[in-house]
Amino acid sequence: MYIAIEGIDTAGKSTQIALLERKFPDALITKEPGATAVGKEIRDIVLNARAKSKKAEFLLFLADRAEHVDEVIKPNINKMIISDRSAVSGVAYALTQGDIDKKHLVAFNHFATDSYLPKKVFLLYLTKKELEFRLSQKELDGIELRGCEYLLKIQDAMIESCKLLNIDLVQIDATETIENISKNILSFL
C-alpha cells in the first residue's frame, strides 16, 4: 500500500513518519521532493527560493515527482510505501498560484506519475494559532518565509488536491498529542 503523510511545514509529518517506521519496519520510507539524486538538487533549488518563476517551481516539482515514481515508487509498489508528501502537495502549491488550470494540474501530475498516486493521504491539519506558534520557534526556509496565510492556503488546497486527484483523504487534527495522532493514523491502516 502506498500512503502519504501530508501537511504544511511544522505539522508533524516527520514525527509521525518515524513512528510509522517503527510500526512497519519493512516499509519503504520516502519523500517528495528529494528522494532521488535529482530530487535532492531540486529540493535545494526550491527551498532556497532560487527559482523566481512559480511556473518553473511547479515544473521542478513535476520533474522530481517523475524521477521519484520511476526510481522509488514503481519498483516497490508491492510493498508498504510511506511518503513524506506526494503529488497532493505539488497540486496544492500550484493551486495557490492560480497560473495553471485545474484540469491541466491533474493531467500534468498523472503524466509525471504514470498515475501512481497514494491510495490514502493523511493530512495533519493545523490551526492558524498553532501554526503561528510553531513557526515562531524555528528558522524559516524559503517556503515558510511566504507567511502563515500562504501556508494556510496551501493546507486548504491540499484538501482540494485530494478531491481533484481522487485520493482517499483522512484529515487529522495536528494539535492533538503525538500519541493520539499516531493512534488515529494507525486506525485507518
Flag whether pLDDT at 87 surpasses 80: yes
The total of other beta-carbon atoms located within 10 Å of residue 29's CB is 15
Q: pLDDT band at 142, cuts 50/70/90? A: low
- The pLDDT, as a whole number, for residue 146 is 80
- The pLDDT, as a whole number, for residue 50 is 78
pLDDT digits (tens, 9 = 90+) for 11-25: 999 999 999 999 999
Flag whether pLDDT at 85 surpasses 70: yes
Q: pLDDT band at 98, cuts 50/70/90? A: confident
- Residue 85, SS3 per DSSP: coil
CB 7 within 8 A of CB 13: yes
- The pLDDT, as a whole number, for residue 138 is 85
Q: Where are the beta strands (DSSP E) in the chain?
A: 2-6, 28-31, 81-84, 120-125, 168-173
Q: What is the total count of domains within the chain?
A: 1
DSSP state of 11: S
HSE, side-chain direction, 13 A CA sphere, residue 175 = 8
Query: In 3D, which of 108, 98, 123 has the Cα closest to residue 185?
Result: 123
Radius of gyration of the chain (CA): 15
For residue 107, give the CATH number of its domain. Answer: 3.40.50.300
Whole-prediction pTM: 0.91
CB 139 within 8 A of CB 95: no
Range of the domain at 65: 2-187
Residues 6 or more apart in contact with residue 56 via CB below 8 angstroms: none
Instruction: Tell me the C-alpha distance between 34 and 128, whole Å.
Output: 28
- The pLDDT, as a whole number, for residue 139 is 83
Flag whether pLDDT at 48 surpasses 80: no
- Residue 175, SS3 per DSSP: coil
Average pLDDT, the chain: 93
Instruction: Tell me the C-alpha distance between 161 and 158, whole Å.
Output: 5
Residues 6 or more apart in contact with residue 6 via CB below 8 angstroms: 13, 85, 86, 88, 89, 121, 122, 123, 124, 158
Q: pLDDT band at 82, cuts 50/70/90? A: very high
- The pLDDT, as a whole number, for residue 154 is 95
Sheet containing strand 28-31, strands side by side: 28-31, 81-84, 2-6, 120-125, 168-173
- The pLDDT, as a whole number, for residue 97 is 85
